[in-house]
Structure 1
Amino acid sequence: MPIRPVKELVAEAKSQITTLSVAEAQARQVSGEALLVDIRDPRELTREGRIPGAFHAPRGMLEFWIDPASPYHKTQLATDKTVILFCASSWRSALSAQTLQDMGVDNIAEIDGGFSAWREAGAPIETEE
């Protein structure tokens, strides 16, 4: 039996989650209504830059960091704000948002197009000098 293509999984996830435009995500961050969470690999942050004020939670630790019962819980993720995930192009963030919804997190969304769309929109980015 062939495996389900990742594109199919991402499309299914996107049909079940909230996806925000770069402009909407940026407006919510600026107004203090949202916490942007970068789930990219640390090497991607070094290579491509970061969104100022975004919290970094590597994809592999996300579920452990958000669960208050986990020994790895990060208090920064225990928020009433909308948690807006992003990765490079919004595939990992779509799957992650769906997983967090399945865990019972209801204040979750993702950025359409991810960090790539953020950069292309000319939104602020910090780079390592």
Structure 2
Amino acid sequence: MSNVDAYLEEARASLKRLTPEEVHATEDALVVDIRPHHNRLAEGEIENSVVVERIVLEWRLDPTGDWRLPGFTAETPVVVVCNEGYSSSLAARDLQRIGLANATDLIGGFRAWRAAGLPVREGGSQAVV
């Protein structure tokens, strides 16, 4: 096993990862898309998701921070989405470490969501900064 595979396995040990269908059925979760703009532009976005690029994720979702997004608390379920469900696992673990105990990620990422035929917003909105 490579070092990065071990790191990913360790991160996922603290997550209750969700399938696209489970995320779609969850009404109270904050779905956070961390994919770069060019991916979102080419492939679309999950309807009702919030775009926060990875570089500012912790600052925008720190439940005690001055730069946090409005409308969520430390108890809000947060589902992080990347392209295929790898970097989102690492990001979700990092969100747990800053106080979001209910942070997790989408198994298979956006591409699994789209393959499941779930609602997609075409085009790519600008990232929240």
TM-score tier by shorter-chain length is 0.7 to 0.9
Q: Does 1:75 align with 2:73?
A: no
CA distance in 1, matches of 2:71, 2:87: 21
CA distance in 1, matches of 2:22, 2:46: 15
Q: Which residue of 2 aligns with 1:87?
A: 82
Q: Does 1:6 align with 2:8?
A: no
For structure 2, the residue ranges without an aligned partner over 5 or more in a row are: 125-129
For structure 1, the residue ranges without an aligned partner over 5 or more in a row are: none
- In structure 2, the CA distance between the partners of 1:81 and 1:47, relative to structure 1 (3 Å rule), is same
Which structure shows the bigger proportion of residues in helix conformation?
A: 1
CA distance in 1, matches of 2:91, 2:17: 12
Pairwise CA distance, 1:128:
2.6
Q: Which residue of 2 aligns with 1:23?
A: 21
Q: Which residue of 1 aligns with 2:96?
A: 101
CA distance in 1, matches of 2:15, 2:57: 17
Following TM superposition, the consecutive aligned residue runs of length 4 or more in structure 1 with deviations greater than 4 angstroms are: none
CA distance in 2, matches of 1:21, 1:55: 18
Pairwise CA distance, 1:92:
1.0
Pairwise CA distance, 1:78:
3.8
CA distance in 2, matches of 1:71, 1:80: 18
Q: Higher mean Cα deviation, 61-70 or 91-100?
A: 61-70
Q: Secondary structure at the match of 2:80?
A: strand
> 1:45 pairs with 36, 40, 45, which one?
40
Residue deviations 1:39-88 (CA, integer Å, cap 9, x gap): 11111111111111101111111101012444432214446431111100
Aligned residues between the structures: 123
- In structure 2, the CA distance between the partners of 1:115 and 1:58, relative to structure 1 (3 Å rule), is same
Look up the equivalent residue of 2:20 and give its one-letter code: V
CA distance in 1, matches of 2:102, 2:90: 15
Identity %: 31
CA distance in 1, matches of 2:90, 2:3: 13
Q: Which residue of 2 aligns with 1:113?
A: 108
**Is the 2:74–2:99 Cα contact (8 Å) retained in structure 1?**
no
